[in-house]
């Protein structure tokens, strides 16, 4: 399963051998790591076994494994970024094409599974865009921009029970109170405005996370742990979206674990 993949050992071996020039030692452990990792990046067991017969060919195998991991990661990450931007702008066909282009060249099964899942989601979002009704199998974050765009194009929300459940859940996810949510559900016009508020909170929270994490990482890497902690405390002081608050709390706990605060 994709969740069981752990590529840190093969990456660490690559750093030692490829980046630092250390010799590769073909111990039983290293052989098993290379054999397993080769299969995980779609190299055949026969090719891997053949490469493990000598140190030079084993080093070549390691380079190919790490190349596939890193190139696949970068390719998928870039495609996801473009696809999310296109999705939020309402271009679902364009979002689908990003994943189709990945699948046209990607060999690594793990990355293919992710791209296939993204493609399925974008395809389901087309139904949301066409019907104006939320899909319970998709995340609110993916659907809110689609539904809001419909409202902005002059299609009022149909406040049936499924839509009300979706809006209540989405509003709660961004820390809005039940009272203000129920008030917004009084009319389709207010419900449409609620979608805009939800999306605004999500985008603001995402921007705060990126900004705080960037500054925190800079300070942490410079050895200023207290400054890094303060960045997270400042973030927590203004964050209202529960899952982003949890992320901030987890990062603060991580920083506290590095060394005692002065």
Cα 134 to Cα 17, 88, 164, 168: the distances in Å are 50, 15, 10, 12
pLDDT number for residue 260: 56
Give the tokens for residue 57.
């060919």
Contacts of 47 (CB under 8 A, 6+ apart): 38, 61
Whole-number Å distance between alpha carbons of 93 and 85: 12
Coil vs helix vs strand at 43? coil
Give the tokens for residue 86.
């296109």
Give the tokens for residue 214.
């960037």
pTM: 0.82
Give the tokens for residue 219.
């300070």
Structure-token match 């389709």, residue found: 188
Whole-number Å distance between alpha carbons of 147 and 165: 14
pLDDT, block means (10 residues), the chain with 262 residues: 74 94 93 96 95 95 96 97 93 97 97 97 96 94 94 93 96 95 95 96 94 94 94 95 95 85 48
Long-range contacts of 118-124 (CB under 8 A, 24+ apart): 118/80, 118/83, 122/83, 122/87, 122/92, 122/95, 122/96, 123/96
The angle subtended at Cα 105 by Cα 103 and Cα 107, nearest 5°, is 85
Structure-token match 């300070």, residue found: 219
The angle subtended at Cα 244 by Cα 239 and Cα 247, nearest 5°, is 120
């Amino acid at each position: 399963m994709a969740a069981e993949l752990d590529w840190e050992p093969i990456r660490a071996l690559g750093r030692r051998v490829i980046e630092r020039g250390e010799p590769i030692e073909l111990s039983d452990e290293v052989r098993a790591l290379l054999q397993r990792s080769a299969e995980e990046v779609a190299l055949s067991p026969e090719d891997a076994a053949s490469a493990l017969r000598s140190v030079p060919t084993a080093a070549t195998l390691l380079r190919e494994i790490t190349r596939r991991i890193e190139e696949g990661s970068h390719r998928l990450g870039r495609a996801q970024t473009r696809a999310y931007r296109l999705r939020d702008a309402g271009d679902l066909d364009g979002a689908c094409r990003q994943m189709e282009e990945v699948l046209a060249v990607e060999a690594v099964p793990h990355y293919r599974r992710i791209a296939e899942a993204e493609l399925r989601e974008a395809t389901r979002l087309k139904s949301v865009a066409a019907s104006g009704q939320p899909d319970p199998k998709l995340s609110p974050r993916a659907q809110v921009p689609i539904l809001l765009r419909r409202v902005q194009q002059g299609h009022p929300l149909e406040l049936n029970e499924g839509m009300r459940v979706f809006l209540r859940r989405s509003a709660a996810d961004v820390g809005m109170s039940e009272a203000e949510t129920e008030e917004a559900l009084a009319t389709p016009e207010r419900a449409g405005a609620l979608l805009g508020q939800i999306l605004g909170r999500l985008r603001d929270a995402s921007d705060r996370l990126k900004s705080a994490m960037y500054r925190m990482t800079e300070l942490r890497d410079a050895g200023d742990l207290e400054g890094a902690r303060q960045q997270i405390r400042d973030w927590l002081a203004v964050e209202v979206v529960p899952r982003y608050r949890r992320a901030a709390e987890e990062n603060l706990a991580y920083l506290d674990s590095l060394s005692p605060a002065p």
